[in-house]
């Protein structure tokens, strides 16, 4: 059976990128590799809309999150984490693992954080040194209001704004500098159309200032040393050379498309997905700002979301994602992230219709597909 | 110009492995990936000669070293590091970064540690909880006596033996269980013939026992969680799927060759390299146990080792390695590691002869090559 990867990471890697990574291995300190890293470094700044250094780590995205906790604070420092899903919860766990005093602001799953809530919390306790949030919460398909949060947080001169944009980057317009994001985290296996293995961390001057007084034990994720190395187009330890070659290739593809067009494509695919599944009787789990990276789809009443997810894979070769924790059984998820276009959405919607029909859901085949087609033709 | 990678990591990746990694991306939690990780996991146990779990981390080898410090000790714990080169020095730095009390035993560059010295130090201070060493010290081309050290250390019931075998694995016969290695660290971009991006950590029961009382902050490198996940053929965070697919392919190639043959091949290539460079008037930097992974070659009197290294690359497209720190200028290095065979050695030796001749060293071209041929035909 032909396979389709429509999961919110890892996402499909374009053949051009796969082949670039199959080229002979370069040595990470040899001159051939330097211009590649230089170009990738500049491309990352372009995609992150920042003049800040965007450091390249050899790890999954979670490594970037850990680096963001580990390089700017001291044990006992107070931080706010926004927990509106599995990845928000991960912020809390990481901060606790490193001995920070965490004020966790819980957000009901399916909703985004109100910037006013963060403003209130920061006014109440000016000792808070950082606010950590997801740009998009992959487990719920919700986008948080990063622009609005940035406006609030930038008024607090001793507080840095840390954004996990791992699943948002490329799919969402994230204006790092304009919106006052101090630490921006990305990962390779999402919008950047690469295999897993790289994390990206963009750091503002305000955050570098805090790095100077941060005394936590660290060695592998030492952002200051990464910065010194990046200035020489190197990484602190052995570079993940093949992934960085692929990164450069993926960035070239995105640059050829243009950043505005990339965002518009993701917005269109996400919108078409939402309208199509609504037309066949499914709800959207995100109740305010749905993500452009992944759509969390509510299973119709009486049907288990996990069964839909499994049948998509087993019967039709489509790997999406199920629900996690409290959303397990209630939802299934379909991504439109990175190397995704019109017929990925059509494929996903058509398969959902077929699975739902087989499960006894009363629909006319082609209904959702028709809605998607209409919107995707615009 | 055609390029040749003869560096001690990254090393060349076989086309079979490169192409396997160019296959469509698999999802790390989906059933297609499970048997691949299962097979890679068992293959790693085979290559490490251990019944212990060998955990797979998404990081460079250094991440594996950090994990080994971070998961078994508490701040203030006493450890011994053996510093006979750049990577021994790294052990010291990592241990210090995590607040351990480090007794660093310095070994003159070019020499290996005497097991009796470790025995003496352990007898003097029974509170020492760990001994960290390299199986091969890449900066000096020296192999430490891991078997001998294991015999000594296993008599101390509260001391674990931690071996950085990143550049040794596959090139050297490392008998993890038989020799009493408690924590064995490997990396992908060396003998395992893969791009950089994976670290491997094999952990003994004795070390797991120490893990229970280790309270250092950790999150990304949490070996206990990796162990729980590995039992389900998963990794704690997103698996570096493409690298693990490649790992499985590389392990199949090594299995087809047979472990004894793999070791014999490396020993033969290393021996031929040493004898060939001696025949053209170069010394071997390693004064007792030379590594089978990489040969550190002393530049002839009056010639700068860095110039030889650079000329090999610039004039002949051969990327070896130079000397580091106190060995800089004195040596240059040529690897015979992983996807390496007869004509890689011949190529390296022939190019060294040509470079040396151009630099005014009085040699008859073909002298070293002839010696290598003779030995490689056996």
Mutation site for A-interface testing, chosen from B240, B322, B337 by largest number of A Cβ within 10 Å: B240
Query: Considering only CB atoms, which chain A residues are within 8 Å of B60?
Result: 58, 237-238, 240
What count of CB pairs under 8 Å joins A to B?
Answer: 164
Give Cα A363 to chain centroid, integer Å: 33
Which of A61, A196, A238 lies at the smallest CB-CB distance from B10?
Answer: A238
Q: Using one digit for the tens of pLDDT, what is the confidence trace for A252-284?
A: 999 999 999 999 999 999 999 999 999 999 999
Q: Tell me the C-alpha distance between B147 and B178, whole Å.
A: 9
Q: Tell me the C-alpha distance between B331 and A97, whole Å.
A: 44
Query: Considering only CB atoms, which chain A residues are within 8 Å of B189?
Result: 25, 238
Q: Do A22 and B21 touch (CB under 8 A)?
A: yes
Q: Give the helix/strand (H/E) hosting B20.
A: helix B15-21
Give A155→chain B minimum CA distance, Å.
31
pLDDT of A241 reads: 97
What is the ipTM score, two decimals? 0.95
Q: Do B25 and A12 touch (CB under 8 A)?
A: yes
Query: Considering only CB atoms, which chain A residues are within 8 Å of B25?
Result: 5, 10-13, 189, 195
Q: Tell me the C-alpha distance between A190 and A193, whole Å.
A: 6
Question: In a structure prediction context, what are the per-residue pLDDT tens digits for chain B, which is 378 residues long?
Answer: 999 999 999 999 999 999 999 999 999 998 999 999 999 999 999 999 999 999 999 999 999 999 999 999 999 999 999 999 999 999 999 999 999 999 999 999 999 999 999 999 999 998 999 999 999 999 999 999 999 999 999 999 999 999 999 999 999 999 999 999 999 999 999 999 999 999 999 999 999 999 999 999 999 999 999 999 999 999 999 999 999 999 999 999 999 999 999 999 999 999 999 999 999 999 999 999 999 999 999 999 999 999 999 999 999 999 999 999 999 999 999 999 999 999 999 999 999 999 999 999 999 999 999 999 999 998
**B16-256 is classed CATH 2.60.40.10:** no
- Decide if A320 contacts A309 (C-beta within 8 A): yes
Collapsing DSSP to helix, strand or coil, A194 comes out as: coil
Give B369→chain A minimum CA distance, Å.
25
Mutation site for A-interface testing, chosen from B187, B194, B238, B337 by largest number of A Cβ within 10 Å: B238
Query: Considering only CB atoms, which chain B residues are within 8 Å of A240?
Result: 60, 195-197
What lies within 8 Å, CB to CB, of B258 at 6+ separation is: none
Q: What pTM does this model have?
A: 0.96
Give B211→chain A minimum CA distance, Å.
16
Domains in chain B: boundaries: 4-8+258-376, 16-256
Q: How many helices (H) and strands (E) would you count in chain B?
A: 13, 14
Give A226→chain B minimum CA distance, Å.
14
Q: Do A195 and B25 touch (CB under 8 A)?
A: yes
Four-way CATH pick for B4-8+258-376: 2.40.50.140, 3.30.1360.120, 3.90.1150.10, 3.40.50.300? 3.90.1150.10
Give A205→chain B minimum CA distance, Å.
25
pLDDT of B54 reads: 98
Mutation site for B-interface testing, chosen from A58, A66, A229 by largest number of B Cβ within 10 Å: A58
Closest to B345 (Cα-Cα) out of B328, B320, B364: B320
| CATH code for the domain defined by A4-8+259-377 | 3.90.1150.10
Mutation site for A-interface testing, chosen from B1, B3, B8, B10 by largest number of A Cβ within 10 Å: B10
What lies within 8 Å, CB to CB, of B53 at 6+ separation is: B41, B45, B202, B203, B227, B230, B231
Q: Using one digit for the tens of pLDDT, what is the confidence trace for B178-213?
A: 999 999 999 999 999 999 999 999 999 999 999 999
Which of A7, A30, A238 lies at the smallest CB-CB distance from B60?
Answer: A238
String of DSSP letters for A220-285 = TT-HHHHHHHHTTT--SS---HHHHHHHHHHHHHHHHH-HHHHHHHHHHHHHHHHHHHHHTT-EES
Q: Do B98 and A27 touch (CB under 8 A)?
A: no
Chain A's closest residue to B239, CA to CA, is: A196
Which of B11, B19, B27 lies at the smallest CB-CB distance from A10?
Answer: B27
Alpha-carbon distances of B259 from B49, B143, B164, B253, B263, rounded to whole Å: 10, 19, 20, 10, 6
- Structural fold of domain A15-256: 3.40.640
Query: Considering only CB atoms, which chain A residues are within 8 Å of B58?
Result: 58-60, 63, 196-197
Query: Considering only CB atoms, which chain B residues are within 8 Å of A76?
Result: none
């Amino acid at each position: 059976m032909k396979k389709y990867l429509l999961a919110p990471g890892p996402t499909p890697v374009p053949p051009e990128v796969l082949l670039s990574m199959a080229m002979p291995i370069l040595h990470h300190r040899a001159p051939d590799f330097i211009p590649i890293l230089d170009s990738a470094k500049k491309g990352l700044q372009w995609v992150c809309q920042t003049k800040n250094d965007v450091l390249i780590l050899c790890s999954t995205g979670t490594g970037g999150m850990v680096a963001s906790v580990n390089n700017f604070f001291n044990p006992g420092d107070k931080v706010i984490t926004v927990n509106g899903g599995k990845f928000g919860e991960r912020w809390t766990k990481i901060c606790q693992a490193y001995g920070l005093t965490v004020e966790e602001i819980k957000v009901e799953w399916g909703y985004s954080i109100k910037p006013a809530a963060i403003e209130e919390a920061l006014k109440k306790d000016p000792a808070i040194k950082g606010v950590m949030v997801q740009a998009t919460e992959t487990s719920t398909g919700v986008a948080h209001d990063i622009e609005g949060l940035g406006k609030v947080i930038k008024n607090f001169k001793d507080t840095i704004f840390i954004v996990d944009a791992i699943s948002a980057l490329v799919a969402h317009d994230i204006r790092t500098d304009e919106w006052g994001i101090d630490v921006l985290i990305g990962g390779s296996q999402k919008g950047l159309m690469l295999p897993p293995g790289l994390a990206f961390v963009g750091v503002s001057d305000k955050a570098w200032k805090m790095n100077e007084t941060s005394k936590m034990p660290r060695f592998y994720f030492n952002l200051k040393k990464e910065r010194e190395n990046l200035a020489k187009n190197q990484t602190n330890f052995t570079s993940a050379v093949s992934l960085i070659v692929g990164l450069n290739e993926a960035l070239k593809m995105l640059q050829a498309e243009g950043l505005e067009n990339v965002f518009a494509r993701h917005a269109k695919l996400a919108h078409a997905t939402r309208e199509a599944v609504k037309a066949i009787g499914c709800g959207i789990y995100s109740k305010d700002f749905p993500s452009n990276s992944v759509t969390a789809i509510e299973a119709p009443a009486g049907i288990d979301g996990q069964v839909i997810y499994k049948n998509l894979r087993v019967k039709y070769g489509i790997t999406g994602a199920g629900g996690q924790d409290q959303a397990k059984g209630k939802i299934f998820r379909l991504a439109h992230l990175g190397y995704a276009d019109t017929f990925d959405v059509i494929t996903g919607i058509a398969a959902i219709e077929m699975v739902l029909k087989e499960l006894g859901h009363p629909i006319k085949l082609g209904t959702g597909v028709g809605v998607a087609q209409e919107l995707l033709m615009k």
